[in-house]
Amino acid sequence: MFLQMMKKAILLVAVLTLTVSCGEYQTLLKSDDAGAKYTYAEELYNEAQEENSKKKYRKALRLFEQIVPQYRGKPQGEKLSFLFANTYYQLGDFYLSSYEFERFQQSYPNSDKLEEAAYKKARSFYELSPRYDLDQTDTHKAIAELQAYLNTYPEGEHAEAANDMAAELRIKLERKEYEIAKQYHLTGEARAGNYQAAITSFTNFLSNNPGSPFREDAQYYRFDSAYQLAVNSFRELMQERLEQALEYSQEYKKYYPEGEYSEAVEASTEDIKSRLQNF
């Protein structure tokens, strides 16, 4: 009986505390007291960090949004601007976090939070980078920002993470370029001109991405595009195209003598040599 009464009392106190807290917060939202809003918003922010609470970050953000303009250029403005940007970041609103971190960098170029702001701005663009098959504007921006961070802080706290993210994003761009070329190859049977487009695209890809994980695939599909183009050509064009395909075959075998596509390349190469004997 006593324990039940204690539990009810504790619950009642918690409810009353929450009610008072919510009432205080709502009153502050309508208040013109910027100092009180600053103090309470910072308390909410610190609690949100300790508890990893999205709810408290959102509550702090509403107060920050009201007072940030009033503190620009004032001594408290530097800290407030960083907390404001980082709140967006913690809430996953990466468009606004990237914007606010950029604004912080421009406004406070001597801040001791400058490195963290540069990294989180770059990380924001990294988080905005879409699937490889979509527009990659944010991916290019993220790579540029990550590289800017690495150039400025080569031994920085987040240098390893920044390098890893930049490498991941470059592979994403390579995949997009590779998949475009491969699509030309896959549609070549329906439209012969696409085989030529595939050859050109794969050649450009190999030139632009010497260390790509898609390099062997690109070598093979360039060869196969050339082979398919040759064997489906008019006779007057066939010899030259067979010889070109043979060159691509030799290049594949040079770099990948025991590669994934070795058997397919060898079979097609034998067919090319057989056909060339007729010329």
Residue by residue, pLDDT tens for the chain (279 residues) are: 544 545 544 444 333 344 445 678 888 788 878 899 999 999 999 999 999 999 999 999 999 999 999 998 888 999 999 999 999 999 999 999 999 999 999 999 999 999 999 999 999 999 999 999 999 999 999 999 999 999 999 999 999 999 999 999 999 999 999 999 999 999 998 887 899 999 999 999 999 999 999 999 999 999 999 999 999 999 999 999 999 999 999 999 999 999 999 999 999 999 999 999 988
Establish if 94 belongs to a structural domain.
Answer: yes
Q: What is the CATH number of the domain that holds 100?
A: 1.25.40.10
Establish if 133 belongs to a structural domain.
Answer: no
Establish if 46 belongs to a structural domain.
Answer: yes
Establish if 151 belongs to a structural domain.
Answer: no
Q: How many domains does the chain have?
A: 1
Read off the pTM: 0.84
Establish if 253 belongs to a structural domain.
Answer: no
Establish if 114 belongs to a structural domain.
Answer: yes
Establish if 90 belongs to a structural domain.
Answer: yes
Give the residue numbers spanning the domain of 66: 32-121
Establish if 239 belongs to a structural domain.
Answer: no
Structure token digits, residue 269:
């190469």
